[in-house]
Amino acid sequence: MGAKDWFCVECQVLIGKEAMDMYVLSILRNTTGVRSVHEDVKIEKLTTHTPDFLGLPAHIWPRLGGVEGAGEGVVIGFIDTGINPNHPSFMTSSSSGFLNSTKFKGKCDTGELFPSTACNGKIVGAQYFAHGAIANGEFNATRDVSSPYDADGHGRQLTNTIYTCSSHTASIAAGNHDIRVIVDGFDYGAASGMAPGARIAVYKALYTFGGYMSDVVAAVDQAVEDGVDILSLSAGPSSVPSGDSAFLDVLELQLLFATKAGVLVVQAAGNGGPSSSSVISFSPWITSVAASITDRKYNTTIVLGNGQSFTGTGLSPPTDGEIDYNIAAAADVCVRNATIITVDSCQNPEPFIRPLVYRRLIICTYTFEYEYEAASIATVADTMMEIGAAGFIITLDPNIGPEVVKGTMLTLQIPAVVLNDMQASSALWEYYNANTIRDKRGQAVAFAAKARILDGRQALYTGQAPVVASYSSRGPDVKNALMQTVDVLKPNVMAPGTSIWAAWSPDSEGDKYVKGQSFALISGTSMATPHIAGIAALIKQRHPKWGPDAITSAMMTTADRTGHSGAPILAESSNELIQATPFDFGAGSINVSQAMKPGLIFNVTFKHYVQFLCAVPGIDVKSVKKAVGVACPTKNKFKCSDLNLASVTISNLVGKRKVIRYVKNVSHKEKYTVHIKEPLGVNVTVVPESFRIKRRGSRRLRLVFEAIEATNAYTFGEMVLKGKKHIVRVPLAVYVGSASSS
C-alpha cells in the first residue's frame, strides 16, 4: 500500500488520498452541528508625525482626559504576528493602572519569551493559534516561537498580499505616548499611538511563512468571545476567494458574526494599487482602509563638485566632514572579467578592487536584478560597508524606465542617496564622465569627479494635503473571482500609511534588514489600518453605545475630499498624480475631529446584512441560510444598493433605480438641506430636499438615479446634507450601462 493510499473499512477497498478526502468531506458535511466545511487555505500577512498630522494632541486627546486617558476603557484586538511585551510602547505607566472594563474576558498564554508578567495592564490579552500551520507542516517551534511573542516582521514587501508586524501595528493604534524613536544611534523623534490610553489584546495567527485560514478564523472567534471592542486585521487573502461569492468566504462570514456581536472590524484594503479592483477586503460589514502619503518627507541631497545638487531618498548619515569625496562608477573599479549587470547593481563585494573603492562614493545602477527594492538596496549598503567605500549613489537605468524606484525608506548606516529621477541620474553621469580620464581601451585611470552627501535623516514638513499612495488597493469592489463588480464602495476611508515609524521586535526573523532594531519605518495599508483602529477607539470612548455601523458611518461622512486649500485630494497613478475618486480613498481622508461629532449616522443591522447577501446576484438563498443560519425573505425586493451604508454604489444602472437611505440624528435638533453633485451621465433627485430632524430622530431619504447617458464606466458624485452645525457627505459611484429610452 502506497504512502498516500487509504483502506476504506466501510467500503472494503483501497482508495487514493484524494478520494479519501472527498469521502471524509461528505461525512463531515452531513454531520449534525456542522454548518459548512471550507478548505484551509493559506493567509498572507500584509508615527512620529501622524498624531499631529491628524490633529489629535490639539483637538482630540484633551477632550478625552488627556494623553493617558485617550482610549481608556476600550480594547483593540490585533490578529497578527504577536507582540514584543518588552517594548517601551507597551509598558504600563504608573497612571494607566488596569483595564476599567467588565466586558473583556481575555487571557494571557505564557510561553517562550512571554512570561505571565507580559500582560501588564497595557497588554490585557495575548494568545496564539497554530493548529492549521502545524497540520500543514509549516510551523517551526524554534523559528516561529510557541507563544504570543512577536518573532516575525514581514513589513516591507508591497504586494497585494498584506504583510506586517503586530508590534508595529499595535503601537500605531494604541502605543504609549512620547516614546523616543532611536535607530542606529539617531533620534528620529517621539512616537505615539492614536489612542495611547486604549488596551491591547493580541491574537497571534501569522508567522514568518504567513498563516492559515483556520488559525485566523479561530483567532477572530476568540477575540469576539473575549469581548474586544475593535478588531484590527492586517491580514487577508492574496486574491479574490473562489466560490459563488467572496462574501460567503469563511473569513468574511466570521467577520460578519464579529460585527453582529458589536465588534468593529477594521481591515487593510490591500497593497495592489494602483490597479483597478485590487481591493482584498470585500464585505460591507468591514471597514476597509486605504493608505495615504503625509506631508513629512525624508530627502537626501548630493552636492557635486561643480555646484550642482540633486535630491533623492535614503535615510542615511552625511559623508564625514565638509569635504568632497571622489566618485567612481562600480564598473570602473571592478575586475575586468566581471559581468557588467552584476557589477553595476553592486549586489556582490567580490568583483570590487579594494584600493580603488576605498573612501570613494560608488555609483550603482538600479537594474533588473533588484527583484525586491528594500532588500536590494540594503545589500548595496552591506557591499559598500564591506569594501570600505565612503558611500554610494543609486541611479536609474534608462532601459528600465523612470518610474522604478519608489523610494524605500531603509535606515542606512552608510551615506547614500537614491536618485529616483531620470534627469538627475543623467546629469550625474554626464558630470562623472566629463571628469573621468580614460586610456585608449576606455578604462578609467583617474577620478576627478567629486561630491558630498548631506544628512538624509532630518524630516521636512511641507504642509501638503494627503495623497493616495500608489500601492494602496483600489475599487471597485468585486463579488467573486470572475471580478464582477457589486454595489458596495471599497475602500471605505483613508489614513496615513506611508513611511510610518512604529515599534519593532528586535528578534524579528522576518526581515533581516531591521533585525536588532526597536523601531522600523514601513509603508502599506497595514500601517493605515491601525490608524483607523486607534481613531475608532477614541470615537468608541466618546460614544460607548455606538455600534460598528455608527462608528464607520461617522468616519465616512466627515472624511476630507479636499486639502486645506480646497483643492481636491490627489492620487498616485502609474506615472502621474491624478484627482482621487471614491475608488481610491473611499469617502476620503479621515478627519478625526469631525468624526467625533458627525451629526447624522447611517445604521445597519445584522438583518440588513443578511438581506444584502440574499440580494447578491449569483448567490443561492440556500447558501445564505446555511452560512448565517437565517433564511432569506420569501419576497425579497431588497437590492444590494439598498443596504443603508454611508455611500451609494450602483454597479449597473439601467434606466432608473430607487435607493432608500435612513439617517439618525446623534446631535441636537437641526435642519438639513440636500445638495447633489451628480455623477456624469446620471440625473439624481432626492426627497425630501430639506428636513428637520429631532435629537435621536430618524428620517427616510428617497433617492432616484436616472441614467441619461451611457458612460460604460464608473462616474462619481456626492450627496451633501448641510445643517447649521454639521455637514454630512455621502459619496456616489454609478456605472451607467444603458440610458433611459425616454
Active-site residue list = 80, 154, 526
Give the number of other CB atoms < 10 A from CB of residue 692: 13
Give the CA count within 13 Å in the CB-facing half-sphere of 1.
10
| Residue 358 cell numbers, joined | 576605498
| Residue 525 cell numbers, joined | 495599508
Give me the phi and psi of 265, to 5 degrees please.
Answer: -100, 120
CA distance 78 to 694: 38
Longest dimension (CA), the chain: 89
Of 354, 349, 355, which Cα lies nearest the Cα of 364? 349
Of 71, 117, 72, which Cα lies nearest the Cα of 97? 72
| Residue 23 cell numbers, joined | 469521502
Given a contact cutoff of 8 angstroms between Cβ atoms, the answer to whether 84 and 149 are in contact is yes
* Rg of the chain taking only CA atoms, in angstroms: 28
**Count H helices, E strands: the chain?**
17, 40
CA distance 613 to 285: 11
Of 652, 557, 544, 689, which Cα lies nearest the Cα of 230? 544
Residues in contact with 57: Cβ distance below 8 Å, sequence separation at least 6, in sequence order: 51, 67
CA distance 585 to 454: 35
103 alpha-carbon distance from chain centroid: 29
Burial of 569 (0-12, 13-18, 19+ CB in 10 A): buried
Give the CA count within 13 Å in the CB-facing half-sphere of 432.
24
| Residues comprising the chain, all counted | 742
